[in-house]
Structure 1
Amino acid sequence: MSNPIEAPRTVFVERVFPHPPEKLWRALTDPSLLAQWLLKNDFSPSVGQLFQFRAEPVQNWNGVIDCEVLAIEPQHRLSYTWNSMGLQSVVLFTLTPEEGGTRLRMEQSGFRPDQEAAFQGAQYGWQRFLGQLEQVLAGGLQ
């Protein structure tokens, strides 16, 4: 009998922002705003669009994340691939209006069991990124 194959894992981060969905949507889809809280990019909100996130290169990494837009439902759902250093994953943002704001749920799925460092890095990284998103939103984005 063989060992069961471990299923890919998913990072989940959820926060409620005291802002309407329209404001969060802009921060998720406007390339200049994305660069303020996530990474430099050439994002375009169109299904099938190829784009890249770019960070400073570090040892053993060129700083490039290759992506493709998979789904767009304005002010509700945004999904794209996130491929870098052997990690082939999917990022999904879901926006849900709530009393006094919007619940943002971020899921990054597709981490294989042998990608523990990438999984841990994503857990830390998305908490940090969404903290930066909070600062961008609080900074007077209309």
Structure 2
Amino acid sequence: MATVRNEADARRQLRAEQRHETDELVIAEPVATASPVGIELHYDGVDDVKRAIDERYDELSRHLETARALDTDLANGKGPVAHWMRRSFAVRGGAGAGGVQAALQSYLAELATLRQTLDTVVTMHQGNDEEAAAVLPTGDADA
């Protein structure tokens, strides 16, 4: 966990983290390519994308568990801002609207929907490929 001294420090750390994440991105083969006839779906590419989605889902799930473990009331402080800090952390760290847990749950739902959509697209394309293969006449391998 990083120590943040002020707002400028937080922004600097955020930019550094975003640069680091961008550096880690891997440019993959396209999942689909357009051709004059239609769209060709690369099934291996889809599997790679689904694996990447699963990795992000697992990572966000771990963050959500951490957020749940940290969702505790702060001890009553003696300072003039203790009440306001307690209120702020309760909103931002909680599962209610605007809280970290709610945001993470929303991201997890979006990833699950994306993965399900990819599965549906692959199933549809495989069905179309199989129908097209069944309709095409079989002939010489050299033809």
Length-normalised TM-score, structure 2: 0.24
Larger Rg: 2
**Quick check: which one's strand share is greater?**
1
Bigger relative contact order, structure 1 or 2 (CA pairs below 8 A, ≥6 apart): 1
Length-normalised TM-score, structure 1: 0.24
